[in-house]
């Protein structure tokens, strides 16, 4: 009994417990999504991936408010993101579309997972500060997951496009999202809901609000086109900036 009491006394409860529990909520939501995908309950699966994104957003906000950011929190966040935004969307793609293609289907559907975990590892290796960045190198894995999820739920699951069009689009989108994640293209960070974020990047802040309203009005149908616009804008911007830099250096 004495040994147990000493052990309990040695356990330290710090402020980081709260954001870390939110991060764990992210992982649980991703795991639940995988279970529901395996059962063919795609609406519940989508709900839990969205819940994972909410946990992922708030763990960072809470950590900054409590001044409880840490290397442990960053590593834990990446591990949980790998489940919720890497494994779950890839498995979703496999079950809802790529399963029919056998081994080739497994290969294609694994692209978001493989690209996502590589991007997370690279991000952690280059992490120098816990402050919010204006830009990310490569498409953030939650943004990649949101792009795929919105396409799956509102376009594949509803048979929105003809069969051949769906085949071409699904393969193209899957590969493109993977390439964007491992690329060095600069993608703007979605601003946090705060006055500071509005002052720092007002255009992006207003854009997120407009996109959110559109998503509600269209019952989610506009999310995929919005994410495509975000990706294409970032790619075009990166190409233009590269050309300008090269011209200046000549």
Structural domains of the chain sorted by starting position, each given as residue range(s) with its CATH number in brackets: 10-241 (1.20.120)
Contact 86, 117 (CB under 8 A): yes
Q: For all residues of the chain together, what is the average pLDDT?
A: 88
Q: Name the range with the highest mean pLDDT among 49-63, 98-112, 119-133.
A: 98-112
Which 8-state DSSP code applies to residue 194? S
For residue 195, what pLDDT is reported? 67
pTM of the model: 0.88
CB atoms within 10 A of CB 71: 10
Q: Name the range with the highest mean pLDDT among 4-13, 16-25, 142-151.
A: 142-151
Using pLDDT thresholds of 50, 70 and 90, give the confidence band for residue 194. low
For residue 130, what pLDDT is reported? 60
The pairs formed by 240-249 with CB atoms below 8 angstroms and a separation of 24 or more are 241/186
Of residues 238 and 91, the one with the higher pLDDT is 91
| Range with lowest mean pLDDT among 24-28, 148-152, 213-217 | 213-217
Contact 154, 224 (CB under 8 A): yes
Of residues 69 and 224, the one with the higher pLDDT is 224
pLDDT at residue 196 tops 90? no
Q: Collapsing DSSP states into helix, strand and coil, what is residue 46?
A: helix
Mean pLDDT across 82-93: 97
Contact 113, 84 (CB under 8 A): no
Mean pLDDT across 114-139: 84
Contact 141, 120 (CB under 8 A): yes
For residue 122, what pLDDT is reported? 92
Q: Collapsing DSSP states into helix, strand and coil, what is residue 174?
A: helix
For residue 85, what pLDDT is reported? 97
pLDDT tens string 17-69: 888 999 999 999 999 999 999 999 999 999 999 999 999 988 888 888 888 77
pLDDT at residue 250 tops 70? no
Contact 116, 65 (CB under 8 A): no
Q: Name the range with the highest mean pLDDT among 92-106, 202-216, 229-243.
A: 92-106
pLDDT at residue 140 tops 80? yes
């Amino acid at each position: 009994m004495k040994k147990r009491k000493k052990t309990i006394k040695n356990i330290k409860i710090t402020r980081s417990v709260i954001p870390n529990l939110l991060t764990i909520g992210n992982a649980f939501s991703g795991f639940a999504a995988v279970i529901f995908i395996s059962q063919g309950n795609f609406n519940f699966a989508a709900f839990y991936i969205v819940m994972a994104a909410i946990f992922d957003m708030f763990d960072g906000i809470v950590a900054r408010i409590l001044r409880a950011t840490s290397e442990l929190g960053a590593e834990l966040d990446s591990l949980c993101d790998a489940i919720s935004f890497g494994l779950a969307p890839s498995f979703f793609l496999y079950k809802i579309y790529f399963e029919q293609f056998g081994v080739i289907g497994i290969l294609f559907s694994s692209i978001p997972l493989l690209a996502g975990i590589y991007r997370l590892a690279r991000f952690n290796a280059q992490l120098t500060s816990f402050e919010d960045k204006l830009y990310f190198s490569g498409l953030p894995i939650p943004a990649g997951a949101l792009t795929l999820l919105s396409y799956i739920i509102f376009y594949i699951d509803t048979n929105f496009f003809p069969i051949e069009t769906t085949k071409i689009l699904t393969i193209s989108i899957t590969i493109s999202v993977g390439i964007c994640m491992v690329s060095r293209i600069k993608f703007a960070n979605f601003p946090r809901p705060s006055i500071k974020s509005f002052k720092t990047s007002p255009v992006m802040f207003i854009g997120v609000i407009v996109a959110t309203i559109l998503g509600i009005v269209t019952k989610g149908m506009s999310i995929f086109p919005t994410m495509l616009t975000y990706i294409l804008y970032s790619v075009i911007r990166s190409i233009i900036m590269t050309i300008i830099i090269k011209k200046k250096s000549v």
